[in-house]
Structure 1
Amino acid sequence: MSIMVKDILKLNSLKEIKLIGGSTGIEKCIEWIYVSECLEDPLEGIKWLQGGEIVIITGVGIKNDASILSKLIREISKRNGVGLIVNIGQYIQCIPKESIEVANKLEIPLFTLPWQVRLVEVSKEISNAIILARIEEKSMNHFLNKILFENIEMEASIKERANYFGYNLEGKCCICVIQIKKIEEILKEENLHDKLDMFKIKLILKKIVQDALEKHSIKVPIIDNDDTVIFLNRAQENCMNRLERALKEIQEVISKRVKYLSINVGIGNAYEDLNLMKNSFEEAKMVIETLECQGMNNVIKKYRDIGIYGLLFSIKDKKVLKNYYRQVLGPIIDAQKKNNEISTIQILDVYLKENCNISVAAEKLYLHRNTLTYRIKTIEQLLNCNLHNFDDCLKLKIALYIINVVE
């Protein structure tokens, strides 16, 4: 976890700082602080930026040269810096309009700081804020890992310790899993092959998630694991409403920033006992599996809304499921192999989804009504069932759900 650019406005040593440009970028995360000074070439000083730094300059090599300051802002943007603080008074009297316009265009927050403010205090306080944020993240990451992946009983004081870092875990909580999809397609399309490329993509995605949650005042323990981001959230109505807005924003931002990428979100049931968060986690994963088997992308869903899939995915022995659907649907599966007509399974699936309405199902399948009537009668004969009988329809519907789960 890093602090955001807007967070430095709250620091004591920066009470006199002013944001004069690039305000749309104040929710970027600061990885570190970088004091850049070079008399001969002001641009030389920032060539070592690695991304995520906020840069501080006194302007000793710039003076009031608007063109150099604008170039500096462009270079900071090019090297993925997140902002620029200019010490005003001694070498730079004021920020040229041209530089402010460049900062606005590139969304690089541009600040002015009075000369009398000691830069050593500024850099010290920003550095401390970043370090404390990382300590907090590590502690809460460890906390969530223990809840979800270790077989231990949570102590009664655990909520108090979480509260020390500003995490309110009172009342019912639930687990949310964000599943990132199609990363392999991105790597292939962009000719990215090494682990560093994958790491950079995942870092961007994690920041998008963190930024959106913080923007909507959601302070939660987060862990990222391969292509998933997992976090614990309070289940009170106002918390869940803010979570829903944040998740939709995450989907929108990711789809705009990273081509081909989409995410599915699963939310488990809420429990007051933190020892039951494992249950919520498993439920959230079942939601993801359900969306996956249905071929759905960019969907946010709760466990309580996945219906029978929750039951089917909780059956760990898949042989039981396979035996069931083979017993129920075996005759039409075997018969289908002998011809190249439209899938009998597809016909049955659509017919049941349309509540056994021949006309609507025929339209969906692009079949003549009489043709579909004949095919339905054939299915009834092969399966020895009556598709106007509720119990028979229920048995077949469950078998069709199972096909999605096991194949």
Structure 2
Amino acid sequence: MTCEDMMEIPELNNVLNLKAGEAGLEHSIRWIYFADCLQCVKNEYRIENYIHGGEFVVLTNRSLTDDSKSLMNLIDRMREHDIAALGINEGQISDKLMSYCTEHDLPLFELPELFPLIDLSQIMCQRLVLEENDRNSAEQLLSSILDAEYLDRDKVFAQARVLNIDLAGSFTVVEFAFLQADEADRDYLAAGQRLRSITTGEFASHTGTNVMVMLQTGSMIALIPVEHVDDSRMKEILNRIVDRAERECGTELIAGVGNATGYLEDVKLSRNEAAAAIKIARASDSPEHVVFYDELGLYTLISHIPDSRFLDKFVEDNLGSLINADRVNSGNLCETLEKYLNCNCNAKSTAEYMYLHRNTLNYRLNKIREILETDLDDLDTCMKLKMAFMIRNYRKLTET
């Protein structure tokens, strides 16, 4: 639930009065927290023991709200732990606080002094619990679509109707993969929950469609309706999600997009294509963070060859002797040749790219010609060698 969703809860229509921070209404609310105890302003108060991100924090104790310095210090510390919004009683909100919340895109709501806080808590908690139950049910539904050996369409569509999910039309699968090097130190559960909220919010906001998501270790799968979203619009939305994830969570992502399908049974194929797009992007050192499977050129063709032995033999036939020479001599001739081919066989560009003296590069290229017994000036030869490197990079990733 976002702050904007909270404002639309019927029971809270005349309760929440937005005073500042409108730009942050897309923030996701995970829970409600009442921070009225006097201990909150003490130096020994450990904010991280109580604030874990995504809270709608309610402050109504005048001992707190009338002490401007302590209040601003408390809110500043809470904001560092990613609270979603603030709620403060009417008559207790200063211009300074409104300016602060506007500057930091922190939604600030004025609450009626006579509205019982227990009612606010009950309304919010019920809504959040129901929403979490719906999310879990939708995740289980998506899992059954992607993982079941046999898809029971009648059962799947019946479950979708209960959850108010429309499974008619065409869909594509998007996989978001986390790119952090040290995955063991990352809290992927928290990052995944935030990514789920960002993703569903972005598609709801920009396309008016509901998407189903499923969290996995190190990644998230999303099933996206594409009836009213072309590739250009899809890429724009996905780039927004990637940018927000990095900005709001410190999480670097790459999004792989499978081909769209109008058949629910083929969603599995789209999922495999999304995963392959991520692997291919990594193999090709693509700078893009949103990668469409059908736009990956020869790598897409390579991924459609099911016989890995055929691929490995092609690499061995064309690069085997060079790979072995590097292994025996701890050399870097394979790297040199690959960079030379990627620079369109331009020696000057290759030398500059690798920070090599031109004579050093020429020596290595002559050595490569000798080992491979081939002519690097022949176009067909260079095409075969480049394809061999592409297959080699692809196989390294698909074997992991």
Tell me if TM exceeds 0.5.
Answer: yes
**Unaligned 5+ residue runs, structure 2?**
none
Give the aligned partner of residue 87 of structure 2. 85
**Unaligned 5+ residue runs, structure 1?**
none
- Whether 1:404 aligns to 2:393 is yes
Q: What pairs with 1:95-110 in structure 2 (closer than 5 Å)?
A: 95-110=93-108
Contact 1:76–1:82 (8 Å) recurs in 2: no
- Whether 1:169 aligns to 2:175 is no
Shift of 1:317: 5.2
Give the aligned partner of residue 30 of structure 2. 31
Contact 2:336–2:364 (8 Å) recurs in 1: no
CA displacement 1:161-215 (0-9 Å, x = unmatched) = 4355444433211110111112407x6xxxx5xx8x5544555555554554454
CA displacement 1:245-297 (0-9 Å, x = unmatched) = 232123323444566x5322111111111111110011111111112222345
Give the aligned partner of residue 4 of structure 1. 2
Cα 1:119/1:373, change in 2 over 3 Å: closer
Stretch deviating more after TM superposition (40-49 or 68-77): 40-49
Contact 1:73–1:103 (8 Å) recurs in 2: no
**TM-score scaled to structure 2, two decimals?**
0.79
Shift of 1:226: 1.1
Name the CA distance, whole Å, in 2 between partners of 1:340 and 1:12.
70
Name the CA distance, whole Å, in 1 between partners of 2:337 and 2:319.
10
Q: What pairs with 1:206-285 in structure 2 (closer than 5 Å)?
A: 206-217=196-207, 219-236=210-227, 238=229, 240-257=231-248, 262-285=252-275
Q: Which residue type is aligned with residue 176 of structure 1?
A: V
Name the CA distance, whole Å, in 1 between partners of 2:364 and 2:134.
66
Contact 1:293–1:404 (8 Å) recurs in 2: yes
Q: Which residue type is aligned with residue 147 of structure 1?
A: I
Name the CA distance, whole Å, in 2 between partners of 1:86 and 1:356.
66
Stretch deviating more after TM superposition (99-108 or 205-214): 205-214
Cα 1:78/1:175, change in 2 over 3 Å: closer
Cα 1:77/1:348, change in 2 over 3 Å: closer
Task: Report SS of the residue matched to 1:30.
Answer: coil
Give the aligned partner of residue 53 of structure 1. 55
Contact 1:28–1:211 (8 Å) recurs in 2: no
Shift of 1:130: 1.0
* Identical counterparts, % of pairs: 23
- Whether 1:129 aligns to 2:132 is no
Stretch deviating more after TM superposition (68-77 or 120-129): 68-77
Name the CA distance, whole Å, in 2 between partners of 1:63 and 1:302.
51
Q: Which residue type is aligned with residue 226 of structure 2?
A: A
Task: Report SS of the residue matched to 1:222.
Answer: strand
CA displacement 1:109-148 (0-9 Å, x = unmatched) = 2211223444444333222221221111111100111111
Shift of 1:30: 1.3
- Whether 1:294 aligns to 2:272 is no
Give the aligned partner of residue 304 of structure 1. 294
Q: Which residue type is aligned with residue 259 of structure 2?
A: N
Task: Report SS of the residue matched to 2:153.
Answer: coil
Task: Report SS of the residue matched to 2:83.
Answer: coil
Q: Which residue type is aligned with residue 294 of structure 2?
A: R
**TM-score scaled to structure 1, two decimals?**
0.78
Name the CA distance, whole Å, in 1 between partners of 2:77 and 2:109.
16
Task: Report SS of the residue matched to 1:85.
Answer: strand
Contact 1:9–1:15 (8 Å) recurs in 2: yes
Q: How many residues align?
A: 389
Name the CA distance, whole Å, in 1 between partners of 2:156 and 2:314.
45
Shift of 1:155: 0.9
- Whether 1:20 aligns to 2:9 is no
